[in-house]
């Protein structure tokens, strides 16, 4: 059933984008009720507004904790227009019908993230707003709810097209969004009091339908706010597989403080390099495996300049992510219309990860440990040189983020090759050696990193025979001594970290 909006209650924290809806309501002779700062905002637009205090005959009290919690407000929202007794009661107590509720919530999560005091955090727990959302959503038969500024454009389009009327489908859709908002908000509060990070159900987050999933026959949705993390300045929408590779890129680049480029394909790095200049870092990363880099996703922790953009433009890649781009670099990179260019924003990421499987969900802490030189325990008679130690640190950062079993070969701030996702560590090493040979790398003086221990000395023997001079591994095998003995006999330095980095 279509319902013409004749009255609206507007009470919001965020007012950007609200003005066009208010003007449209006014043009359609809609009576507007409001409170506090929102009332002032509407009055500054030159539009008449009735204060909620005038409706209820009660002022805002307790420092603003109680403003809209009154029968004349909630009765106006909740009374059923098709119910004769409800209509009679509303008339008896002079309760005006409220057909539209535009409300958002105090920024609880943002206040927590800011490191504010507990007192400030508690004051950002919205009471009236959450009640208004639930009340308006419950009575979607009669009331349209707008529960987030992200809905303003859609609501404006509907109201403009239908002359400030809505149908049942419209109202039920926005009621669903309202309950998602309230669910997300309450679970965030529960998470704060429980000390549980990411306690909310993922379905309470903003949802974006993707073209398809990992394959075209699979439906897919992303739940989260990508715009909070990236500004997309060019190119088509991100796909499911793009997002998987973007996540792999972000996890790996965050290990590096020095200027670094990472090239990812199918969630594994096919090129990583750190260097003094962006162009050198990119070219060194590309040299690792220029074949796999075709159609890849690239990330850097440094501004993209013109010289690097000219080199990048020679490669077909899906996405590049950077903290910023020079204008002349953008002119070059935007020549390919589908190429995605993302500016990464500073966003705090969670420390918990989830995976659905069987008939449930696994939850675990993210692997945020990375071992540096101070954590290395030399297991052999020879200690790694300073250059070898630096290379071992570099290689370990990479192998932590590759599928197990994996091995990384590196030298001078450049990944020379890697073997990933093998059921045998020997096979992973052989894969890496073959890759290095294919692209012309000399492994003499290079180092090897492994995310898990060597159960036998075969890997260190194979590595030594192609020129590897130092090795880092977690240790922990009952046969560690066999590998240590081989290294001692062949002047190979080995350090152990005591920390395994399986990735499946």
What lies within 8 Å, CB to CB, of 238 at 6+ separation is 210, 226, 232, 246, 319, 340
Active-site choice (205, 266, 302, 336): 266
The whole-number pLDDT of residue 199 equals: 41
Q: 363 phi and psi, to 5 degrees?
A: -125, 135
CA distance 332 to 129: 48
Beta pairing, strands 493-496 & 377-378: antiparallel
The CA distance from 16 to 200, in Å, is 27
Taking each helix axis from N to C end, the angle separating 84-92 and 71-78, rounded to the nearest 10 degrees, works out to: 160
How many Å apart are CA 98 and CA 413, to the nearest integer?
65
Q: What is the pLDDT, as a whole number, of residue 225?
A: 85
CB atoms within 10 A of CB 299: 25
Q: Is 217 a catalytic residue?
A: no
- Write down the catalytic residue from 15, 138, 303, 334: 138
pLDDT at site 150: 87
Nearest of 243, 247, 276, 239 to residue 260 by alpha carbon: 276
CA 86-50-146 angle, to 5 degrees, is 65
**C-beta of residue 313 within 8 angstroms of C-beta of residue 305:** no
C-alpha–C-alpha distance, residues 346 and 253, integer Å: 13
pLDDT at 202: 61
- Which strand (E) or helix (H) includes residue 450? strand 447-450
Q: Is 176 a catalytic residue?
A: no
User: 163 near 317, Cβ under 8 Å?
Assistant: no
Is residue 472 a contact partner of residue 449, using CB atoms and an 8 Å limit?
A: yes
Three-state DSSP class for residue 415: strand
SS3 at position 348:
coil
How many residues does this entry show for the chain? 504
Among residues 268, 271, 264, 250, the alpha carbon closest in space to that of 295 is found at: 264
What does 416-440 look like in DSSP terms, one character per residue?
Answer: EEEE-S-SSHHHHHHHHHHHHHHTT
Q: H or E stretch including 363?
A: strand 360-365
Note down pLDDT in tens along the chain; length 504 residues: 788 999 999 999 889 889 999 999 999 999 999 988 899 999 999 999 999 888 887 777 777 677 667 888 899 999 999 899 999 998 998 899 999 999 999 888 888 878 889 999 999 999 989 999 999 999 999 999 999 988 999 999 999 999 999 999 999 999 999 998 998 888 888 888 877 655 445 655 667 889 899 999 999 999 888 888 999 999 999 999 999 999 999 999 999 999 999 999 999 999 999 999 999 999 999 999 999 999 999 999 999 999 999 999 999 999 999 999 999 999 999 999 999 999 999 888 888 888 888 988 788 999 999 999 999 999 999 999 999 999 999 999 999 999 999 999 999 999 999 999 999 999 999 999 999 999 999 999 999 999 999 989 999 999 999 999 999 999 999 999 999 999 999 999 999 999 999 999
Residue 347 DSSP SS3: coil
First to last CA, the chain: 52
Q: Which two tokens stand for residue 466?
A: 């192609």
470, 391 Cβ separation under 8 angstroms: yes
> d(Cα 269, Cα 138) in Å, to the nearest integer?
49
DSSP 112-124: HHTT--HHHHHHT
Q: How far is CA 235 from the centre of its chain?
A: 19
pTM for this structure?
0.70
Nearest of 494, 473, 302 to residue 400 by alpha carbon: 473
């Amino acid at each position: 059933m279509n319902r013409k909006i004749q009255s609206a209650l507007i009470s919001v924290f965020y007012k950007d984008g609200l003005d066009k809806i208010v003007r449209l309501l006014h043009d359609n002779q809609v009576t507007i009720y409001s409170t506090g700062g929102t009332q002032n905002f509407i009055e500054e637009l030159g539009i008449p507004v009735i204060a909620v205090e005038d409706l209820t005959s009660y002022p805002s009290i307790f420092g603003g904790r109680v403003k809209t919690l009154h029968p004349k407000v909630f009765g106006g929202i909740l009374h059923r227009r098709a119910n004769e007794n409800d209509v009679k009661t509303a008339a008896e107590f002079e309760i005006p019908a409220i057909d539209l509720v535009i409300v958002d919530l105090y920024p609880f999560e943002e206040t927590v993230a800011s490191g504010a005091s507990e007192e400030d955090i508690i004051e950002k727990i919205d009471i009236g707003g959450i009640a208004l959302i639930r009340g308006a959503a419950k009575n979607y038969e009669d009331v349209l709810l707008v529960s987030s500024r992200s809905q303003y454009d859609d609501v404006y389009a509907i109201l403009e097209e239908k002359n400030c009327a809505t149908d049942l489908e419209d109202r039920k859709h926005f009621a669903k969004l309202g309950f998602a908002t309230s669910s997300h908000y309450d679970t965030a509060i529960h998470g704060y009091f429980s000390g549980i990070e990411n306690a909310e159900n993922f379905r309470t987050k903003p949802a974006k339908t993707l073209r398809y999933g990992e394959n075209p026959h699979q439906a897919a949705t992303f739940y989260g706010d990508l715009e909070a993390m990236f500004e997309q300045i060019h190119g088509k929408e991100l796909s499911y597989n793009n997002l998987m590779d973007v996540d792999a890129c972000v996890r790996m680049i965050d290990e590096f403080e020095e200027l670094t480029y990472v090239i990812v394909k199918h969630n594994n790095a096919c090129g990583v390099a750190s260097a003094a200049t962006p162009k050198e870092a990119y070219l060194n990363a590309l040299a690792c495996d220029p074949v796999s880099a075709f159609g890849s996703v690239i990330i850097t922790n440094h501004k993209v300049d013109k010289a690097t953009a000219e080199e990048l433009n020679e490669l077909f890649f899906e996405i590049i992510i950077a903290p910023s781009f020079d204008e002349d670099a953008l002119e070059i990179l935007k020549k390919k219309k589908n190429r995605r260019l993302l500016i990464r924003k500073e966003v705090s990421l969670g420390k918990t990860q989830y995976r659905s499987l069987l008939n449930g969900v696994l939850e675990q802490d993210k692997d945020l440990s990375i071992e540096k030189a101070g954590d290395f325990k030399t297991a052999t008679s020879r200690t790694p040189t300073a250059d070898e130690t630096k290379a071992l640190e570099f290689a370990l950062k990479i192998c932590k983020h590759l599928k197990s079993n994996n091995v990384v070969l590196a030298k001078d701030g450049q990944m020379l090759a890697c073997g990933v996702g093998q059921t045998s560590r020997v096979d992973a090493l052989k894969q890496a050696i073959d890759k290095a040979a294919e692209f012309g790398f000399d492994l003499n003086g290079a180092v090897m990193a492994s995310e898990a221990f060597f159960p036998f000395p075969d890997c260190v023997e194979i590595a030594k025979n192609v020129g590897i001079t130092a090795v880092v591994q977690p240790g922990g095998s009952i046969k560690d001594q066999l590998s240590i003995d081989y290294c001692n006999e062949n002047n190979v330095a080995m350090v152990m970290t005591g920390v395994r980095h399986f990735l499946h």
